Structure 1
Amino acid sequence: MESRNTYVLAILGCIIIIIAMFFSLSLDKIIIKPLIKNYVILDTYIRLDQSKSLTLLTTNILDVVPHGK
């Protein structure tokens, strides 16, 4: 009787581990990867914004500097 309980516990443990792995993988696909994608997209936009403002700043400075007479 005791060996039968051991087998049942071992099978239940394997099932629980498989379900836990499935949930962790699905959470990775559903939650974590989109968050990373959104962060990368936002980071790219911020960098583009910074480069645009830097370009505008240099353009304004070049316009202010008097050209040769």
Structure 2
Amino acid sequence: MRFRSRDNTVRRITLPNGQIVRIGAEWREIPSSLHDAAFEVGCISEEVARSVTPPQDDAKAERKPSPAQK
């Protein structure tokens, strides 16, 4: 799964063997063993981003005025 930082700052995950994984503004594939750690340090997965971001077509669709606006 791919992850990126929520606020475009670089997030660090330290692996048990001492290696460091940095996750920034660009999507980055990381091993499944690090998914929980990525969420904990403030990253968002590509799957989550897709589920909370409206598709482009819906965002451009004409919106009907509410009864209060008529």
* TM-score (norm: length of structure 2): 0.25
* Greater RCO (Cα-Cα under 8 Å, separation 6 or more): 2
Question: Which of the pair has more CA radius of gyration?
Answer: 1
Larger proportion of helix:
1
TM (norm. structure 1) is 0.25
